[in-house]
Structure 1
Amino acid sequence: MAKRLSNESPIGDVLKEFIEVNKLQSGMDKIDVQKAWKSLMGNGVNSYTNEVILKGSTLYVSLSSAVLRQELSYGKQKIIVMLNEELRKEVVKEIVLR
């Protein structure tokens, strides 16, 4: 059973408690990673991005351009660092470009 918060708790604390109690953090991470990808990669990359899926700590990105996929493969580690900095925690440990 969840601990009871006082009636005067900030909404942020209530939401954090709700997410923690109901084990929703992994779902929130999936959404946050998709938003971070869109904001960090810009319109050029996003126009060729079909899918961004987080499974565990591996990010699967489906691209429609083989040339772009090759170019991004050279900077995988930098992309991982940028995403984790944007999310303010280590969520992504590996990227698979398809």
Structure 2
Amino acid sequence: MAKRNNDNQSIQDVLKAFVDTNNLQSGLDKVNVREAWANLMGNGVNNYTTAIELKHQTLYVQLSSSVLREELSYGNEKIIKMLNEAIGKAIITKLVLR
């Protein structure tokens, strides 16, 4: 029977090492951005949001309402700042509303 190692590690350290080893951070960032958008924008904006995609620090958000798209474009920098704060790191540098 194999012996057990007595190297105690926290779950946080083990998961972080797993994410780093398997290059999963970019996928986790995409999920975190989608969740942050849904939480910050609320149901009113989420009902008109059809797609959210993060590519190379640019967040592409597709909206079904041109009026809402125009309204959100006025607060572009504020939205980027709020999303980055909700995620906990500066992932997004540019927001494109389609």
The two structures have a TM-score, normalised by structure 1, of 0.91
The structure having more radius of gyration, on CA atoms, is 2
Unaligned residue ranges in structure 1 (runs of 5+): 1-5
Unaligned residue ranges in structure 2 (runs of 5+): 1-5
Aligned-pair CA distance for 1:14:
0.6
Could you say which residue in structure 2 is the equivalent of 1:51? 51
Give identity over the alignment, percent. 57
Cα distance in 2 between the residues matched to 1:56 and 1:30:
11
Could you say which residue in structure 2 is the equivalent of 1:62? 62
What one-letter code is carried by the residue in structure 2 that aligns with 1:21?
Answer: T
Instruction: Write out per-residue CA displacement over residues 31-83 of structure 1, whole angstroms, 9 at most, x where no aligned residue.
Output: 00000000000000000000110001000000000000000000010000000
Count of aligned residue pairs for this structure pair: 93
Cα distance in 2 between the residues matched to 1:7 and 1:61:
45
Cα distance in 2 between the residues matched to 1:8 and 1:56:
37
Cα distance in 1 between the residues matched to 2:21 and 2:89:
20
Which consecutive segments of 4 or more residues in structure 1 shift more than 3 A? none
CA-based RMSD: 1.0
